[in-house]
Amino acid sequence: MKFFTDNVLSLLIFSPLAAAAVAAFIKREELLRWWTLAATTILAVFSLTLYWNFDPGTHLFQFKEQARWISIPAMNMNINYSLGVDGISLLLVLLTTLMMPLCVLASWRYIQARVKEFMICLLIMETAMIGVFCALDFILFFVFWEAMLIPMALLIGIWGGPRKIYAALKFFIYTMAGSVFLLVAIIALYTQRHTFYIPDLMGRPYSPAFQYWVFLAFFISFAIKVPMFPFHTWLPAAHVEAPTAGSVLLASVLLKMGAYGFLRFSLPITPEATRFFTPYVLGLSVVAIIYGGLTALAQSDLKKLVAYSSVAHMGFATLGIFALNQIGVEGALLVMINHGVTTGALFIVVGIIYERLHTRDLGLASGLGKAMPIFAAFAGVFALSSLAFPGTNSFIGEFLVMSGGFAVSKLMMVCVVPGVVLAAAYMLRMLQKVAYGGTRNPDHSQVKDLCGREILTLAPLLVFVFWIGLHPEPFTRVMQASVQHLLAQSTGEPGSGTAVALAMKSEGRGPKSETRNPKSEGNPKSEIRNQTVAPLPAPAPRGALAPTIELPGGQDHRVSHSDFGLRISFGFRPSDFGFRGTPATFVPLHNASSPR
Amino acid sequence: MPTSTLTAFLPELVLLAGALALFMTTLGQSGARQARTVALFTSFAAILAAAACLGQKTTLFNHAYTVDLFSQVLKLIFACGFTLILLLSGDLQDIRADVKAEYYLFLTISVCGLTMLVSCVDIITLVVALEVSAFPLYLMVPMRCERAGRRSQMESAIKYMMFGIAANGIMFFGLSYLFGLTGTTSLPSLLPRLQPVIHSPAAIAGLAMTFCGLYYKLAVFPFHFWTPDVYQGASNETAGLIASLPKLGGVAVLVRFVSLASPDNPALVVMLTILAAGSMFYGNLIALMQKDFKRLLGFSSIAHAGYALIGFVALDEMGYSAALYYIVGYLLMVLACFVVICKVSRDGSNVAIEELAGLHRRAPLLAVTLAVGVFALAGVPPFVGFMGKLSLLTAALHKGHLALVIIAMVNAAIAIYYYLGVVREAWFRDPGDLPPIRLDWPTRALCILLIGGILALGVAPARFLDAISTSVAQMHAAPPAGAPALSSR
């Protein structure tokens, strides 16, 4: 038992690999499917123990594992096998493990050729994806990050659609070209601090010029993965050509890695550069939201439509991250989870259509609702969720992101509003066509409605749509402490320090350096930074400048914002339209909201 | 000769005995099968001998020949590489039947030359070993079967030899400068004498010209002209040999010579930087256009020589170790590709990239081997190519060569394209009417050995890198002690 509790992350990472090894020796295809389903389901259930045992009161990494991996004193090289999750990565790990059985179910009949290789690819993917979210050593992270490319390219290139080779190569080259810069950044950081241990690299006083370069290198790599606006062109190609399971994994997990990279690396390692580049990144996010929406509106291919809606959704995620305040980042994390659930579901929905009609053309699929009422109900809920209908999951996420964005620039949020309207437009257009169609629909009388397996695939996602939509507290609860600490690191604001210090007292497990507050290091640079950064008094008068959130719990900063007891009030001043002062003067929201 | 001397020299003796036995077999009519057995037996014996002599530490032949950890580790690698090459060659389907036995003889002599090369610390013995390793290769290239109307193997052989001899000529000229400046041919005593004048134009010119001979072996731009033609013209097995073992020898000797310029020599650093950048760009850009798999590997080898030079730019032990580690990894990666070439080619002719189509159906193990080899060359983790690049770039960035590191990474990004082109053919295309490929047991074993090696060196390189870096450190620490005794020569 102790073995299980001590190595829970290693077990999560490597049991899919073991399952893949077993799968290599299974001959019968039906048995292979059952075996993969069983393995991924057991793993998904097992991964829930992470959630039960997770302590949401601390920002520190939990379930930590550390072992020497490559240590060469003569070459001054020290690479460790370090794992751990915090509030930022926990939900992403769970999202990965929970999506996997659904991917297997979604490809139950879709994949008929070379089932064994397909299942092995899926399982290797799972290992790499969980590894990315758990790795605390930069090289380990990079190994998992890259290890994912090969099975994913194979998934697209072997089991994909007509232009699969083009899509697979484009995916591979884009991502690899991005990660090349990531590697340079990793080595550059290593030459500064002589460690690959990620928590040790965070919140250190790097020179601004160094930070700018590292940030840019990170940015290229993560922006391609997200994908952000000018780097998104690989995404529609990959999504359209990939088999259903590939699309689902791509949307649910792979796209999250870019955003996760921003949260895990860009913000805490290069805070000054982050603040410098924030306006540009926010600008790109807004462009992504509008552009994604407009392009999605113009698509007649269902998968392309969903793919471009991904670009828009991920625009919300990056918007929330670079709002650099508690609400925004928590919202961004929720958007990431929601996008995984909803868009994953939509890709499964499109896959179901494709399996029946062998086309993804919106016109040819019109009026399906008459023949498939159950299907239409599912599709309707997911489409509404995708356009952020109140009561569904996306509403909470996008709402939080937009309130976070309001604190930064109201003008910017005015620009985002058309994006929200566009989402309604393209999703309702799709829903209308698929469910009702026009007067002259193609004949779908032979098409069968969903079978039990397909309902089983979609039902869990439906649960999450409403669960997050109506009661997001269990999801936001685990991320708060980590997000707070992250913002303390990336903005250098004094207010969040107290909560961090409190959290640190209670937790003595982490390495010494991790418990050090960037502020308390006493180096001249951070002092100067703090002087220039804090033009506003820390306990800002309620409702004066930043949007203020009144929490029912009063003093307790950990009460969820989304409890529906919250009131949001904005104090407008004409000068607030546009960025307030220099980009370095954002005030984290909880400063204003919960005076301690 | 005392027994300790004998044991220290055991790997070379084993190889020499093997070469002698092979010479005897070539005299009779019996031919290829027997020679192959003898060669294989020799290679196994060489591995055992090299492993047994790993801890030896002595100098032989009037201090012209040093046996230390550095040389012994490399000898073990050469012996292993020799075995891999023999397994790879199979029964030499594209070598003229009447010279097959001689082919094994020359192969063994060449490996023997390389084995001696890493121990040589005197310019004279070094030159002799260099030629012993090179001349058999010149002869092995034209041993390929003649195809109707084409004698490209002759053309390649002439090119290989002419360039080789020209490069060696330049190298000797450079060595004469070094000798003129220091009055000694022994590297350990050359080092301290060169230090006072190391920044003089004569010393820099001498070193630069000395490197030329080694650049030729490594196929560094602009000494690369022979590479694609020889790869294309030589039989697949010979090209596999030329692509792998001599490069390791070149890097090993380069380590000895570049360390003459340590710890700081701006002129040499600039020269090495330019050559590294030139090699990477030239190799990668031209490889983008290749249709023939061997030519592609030829150009990619130019690029990889550029990567290896990055380690030398750092001018410290970390860089040298990284370069050695990288080139050992490269040996495995390129052999993995050549196994596929040898097996895909039905009659020993060259393999166009299109002929790899549908390999995952025709021979899954070969397809996996190819994917592992090619992705490793592209630097994708967890394979050795990634770890090698990581250690090279770390070493270079420690010394502040940021521009070179960025150039290297840009090149890694360019290279992905053509490597993926190979993977695309093998994995994403349908075989069409290309027949399946049957693999015999030695080939399967070789494939699994190579995949295992590429993975192991990539995932758990600690022991290996540790051995290499300690040996490089020891090599650098050793010379001053022996130097005074040598000055009488």
Which whole number is the average pLDDT over B89-110? 84
Task: Indicate the pLDDT class of residue A516, thresholds 50, 70 and 90.
Answer: very low
CA–CA dist B153, B141 (Å, integer): 6
Kindly determine whether residue A183 and residue B390, on different chains, have CB atoms separated by under 8 Å. Answer: yes
pLDDT, residue A561, reads 44
pLDDT, residue A345, reads 92
Question: DSSP states of A38-64 as a string?
Answer: HHHHHHHHHHHHHHHH--TT--S-EEE
Query: Is residue A127 scored above 90 in pLDDT?
Result: yes
pLDDT, residue B122, reads 87
Identify which of A506-510, A526-530, B292-296 has the greatest average pLDDT.
B292-296
What residues of B are in contact with residue A168 (Cβ under 8 Å)?
424, 428
Query: Is residue A157 scored above 60 in pLDDT?
Result: yes
* Residue B339 backbone phi and psi in degrees, to 5: -55, -45
B202-252: pLDDT as tens digits: 888 888 888 888 888 888 888 888 888 888 888 888 888 998 898 999 998
- Residue among B318, B406, B409 whose CB faces A75 most closely: B318
Query: Is residue A130 scored above 50 in pLDDT?
Result: yes
A188 touches chain B (CB under 8 A): yes
Query: Is residue A312 scored above 70 in pLDDT?
Result: yes
A364 touches chain B (CB under 8 A): no
pLDDT > 70 fraction of chain A, expressed in percent and rounded? 82
pLDDT, residue B328, reads 92
pLDDT, residue B149, reads 62
Let me know if A191 is exposed, middle or buried by CB neighbors in 10 A (0-12, 13-18, 19+).
middle
What residues of A are in contact with residue B397 (Cβ under 8 Å)?
187-188, 190-191
Query: Is residue B255 scored above 60 in pLDDT?
Result: yes
Reported in sequence order, the residue ranges of B10-89 that DSSP labels E, i.e. its strands, are: 58-60, 65-67
pLDDT > 70 fraction of chain B, expressed in percent and rounded? 95
Reported in sequence order, the residue ranges of B299-354 that DSSP labels E, i.e. its strands, are: none
What residues of A are in contact with residue B420 (Cβ under 8 Å)?
169, 172-173
Kindly determine whether residue B321 and residue A77, on different chains, have CB atoms separated by under 8 Å. Answer: no
Task: Indicate the pLDDT class of residue A542, thresholds 50, 70 and 90.
Answer: very low
Which whole number is the average pLDDT over B142-165? 82
A479-495: pLDDT as tens digits: 888 888 888 888 765 43
Lowest-confidence pick of A183-192, A512-521, B126-135, B150-159: A512-521
pLDDT, residue A493, reads 53
Contact A481, A58 (CB under 8 A): yes
Lowest-confidence pick of A287-296, A506-515, B361-370, B412-421: A506-515
Average pLDDT of chain B is: 85
Which whole number is the average pLDDT over A570-574? 39
Question: Which residues have C-beta within 8 Å of that of residue A564, sequence separation ≥ 6?
Answer: none
Closest CA to B70 of B337, B321, B427: B321
pLDDT, residue B381, reads 83
- Residue predicted with more confidence, A429 or A547: A429
Q: Which residues of A403-429 are buried (b: 16+ CB within 10 A; e: fewer)?
A: bbbbbbbbebbebbeebbebbbbbbeb
pLDDT, residue A229, reads 83
Q: How many CB pairs under 8 A join A and B?
A: 99
What residues of A are in contact with residue B424 (Cβ under 8 Å)?
157, 165, 168-169
pLDDT, residue A570, reads 39
pLDDT, residue A555, reads 40
B396-451: pLDDT as tens digits: 888 888 888 888 888 888 888 888 888 888 888 888 778 888 888 888 889 999 99
B263-281: pLDDT as tens digits: 777 888 888 899 999 999 9
Which whole number is the average pLDDT over A35-44? 92
Amino acid of residue B397: L
Please list the helix, strand and coil fractions of chain A in percent, rounded to the nearest 5, in that order. Answer: 70, 5, 25
Query: Is residue A579 scored above 50 in pLDDT?
Result: no
A interface test, pick of B414, B420, B474 with most A CB neighbours within 10 Å: B420
Task: Indicate the pLDDT class of residue B4, thresholds 50, 70 and 90.
Answer: low
Lowest-confidence pick of A462-466, A518-522, B383-387: A518-522
- Which residue of chain A comes nearest to B473, CA vs CA? A74
Kindly determine whether residue B397 and residue A188, on different chains, have CB atoms separated by under 8 Å. Answer: yes
What residues of A are in contact with residue B382 (Cβ under 8 Å)?
143, 147
CA–CA dist A486, A360 (Å, integer): 42
The ipTM of this complex is: 0.82
CA–CA dist A379, A369 (Å, integer): 9
- Residue predicted with more confidence, A540 or B327: B327
